[in-house]
Amino acid sequence: MTVHPITIMGEPVLHRRARPVEAFDDELRALIADLFETMDTANGVGLAAPQIGVGLRIFVYGMENDDDVPPRGVLVNPTLVTSKVPGSDPDPEEEAEGCLSVPGEAFPLKRAEWTRVTGFDGDGSPVEFEATGWFARCMQHEYDHLDGRLYVDRLNAKYTRRARKAMKNNGWGIPGLTWMPGVDPDPFGH
């Protein structure tokens, strides 16, 4: 297992739709192991392959939940169906979201409270479950990475302005920027 550098917004792989996984083989199992190792070292609750520079439709998660879903898992070629996203403003205390590819920043974002997730595990066996609350938020966040979207792309106008200012102040938005979990300081202070 290898810890990989995490790409920072501006890296092209983060901003384009990932390709479907076609082979469930040892190479895929090695990628899954690396994703888990990188996520754990970064103190994350989810990590998508594009975040380590691999443009494939796969993500891992590690999050306790109230939905009787194993707290650690992998989703290959997933699909999501969600409930409606409320139209109200996000609560800055209760709905702030962060991302390892937008290191050290957090902005409030409304997400659907429920989602149905389908896909495959690392061996190609079907996976299907429902997620609620923060677990549903995690599934939506990681799935967005597979479609070339970051959570900051979904912010309302007020928080978009703040996010753009943070991106400019951090010098992000250009290719080639990464941070290394376990080497660089933890951007979220874990």
115 forms beta bridges with 82, 131
Q: What's the token pair of residue 114? A: 């429920």
CA 106 to chain centre: 13
- Check if the beta carbon of residue 8 is closer than 8 Å to that of residue 184: no
Residue list, annotated binding site for Fe cation? 99, 141, 145
By the 8 A CB rule, do 80 and 143 touch? yes
Active site residue 97: no
Residue type, 19: R
Among candidate residues 41, 66, 37, the one with its CA nearest the CA of residue 138: 66
Cα 133 to the chain's mean position, in Å? 16
**What amino acid occupies position 51?**
Q
* DSSP per residue, 29-61: HHHHHHHHHHHHHTT-SEEEGGGGT--BSEEEE
Give me the catalytic one of 37, 97, 105, 142. 142
Q: Which of these, 37, 3, 61, lies nearest to 179 by C-alpha position?
A: 3
Q: Which residues are catalytic?
A: 142
